Amino acid sequence: MRIGHGFDVHRFGPGDHVMLGGVRIAHSAGLIAHSDGDVVLHALCDALLGACALGDIGRHFPDTDPRWRGVDSRQLLGHCYALVREQGLQLANADITVLAEAPRLARHAPAMVANIAADLDCLESQINLKATTTEKLGFVGREEGIATHAVVLLERIS
Ligand code: MG
């Protein structure tokens, strides 16, 4: 088995929605990014790459490359998971924690889990996604941005 951890942050900027877990969520701000700013999927990509000792998302999708401008991060996730499969590995489970003071995410979690399970070709019961605030503390608490931690366990394809 292989374990991986990913962490990502994006800062709020002008906009009327955020993309999280492939779900478009209306908000009074957007997330600044070269891609669609999906901090949930970026942390998950980094966890998958980390478990395979394949570096990080910046190495595979450099933000200097115009191919990735505004890209749907589900494409990046699909690419990362193809690399996992090339290693003879598959997802056992993922546990994801989103840190956001706003918007409130709990009601969007099932849709995010469904997207991730579809992209990782697994059951929804293999994906856990939870959201927390930071009790108004720190950059998340000041609503300057959103952060996500992701942990994955990969197993050999039998
Ligand atoms: Mg990112």
Q: Which has the closest alpha carbon to 49: 15, 8, 13?
A: 8
Mean pLDDT across the chain: 96
Q: Alpha carbon 59 to chain centroid distance? A: 16
Check residue 59 and give its pLDDT: 94
Residue-wise pLDDT for 18-54, tens only, equals 999 999 999 999 999 988 999 999 999 999 999 999 9
Bond from prior residue into 66 cis (ω within 30 degrees of 0):
no
Q: Find the 18 Cα to ligand 1 centroid distance in Å.
A: 13
Q: Reply yes or no on whether the pLDDT at 158 is more than 90.
A: no
pLDDT of residue 65: 87
Separation between Cα atoms, residue 23 and residue 158, nearest integer Å: 33
Angle at which helices 73-86 and 109-119 cross, to 10°: 40
CA of residue 101 relative to chain centroid, distance:
17
Q: Tell me, in angstroms, the distance from the centre of ligand 1 to residue 32's CA.
A: 9
Largest CA distance in the chain: 47
Q: Which residues surround ligand 1, an ion (CB under 5 A)?
A: 8, 42
Beta-bridge partners for 23: 20
pLDDT score for 82: 98
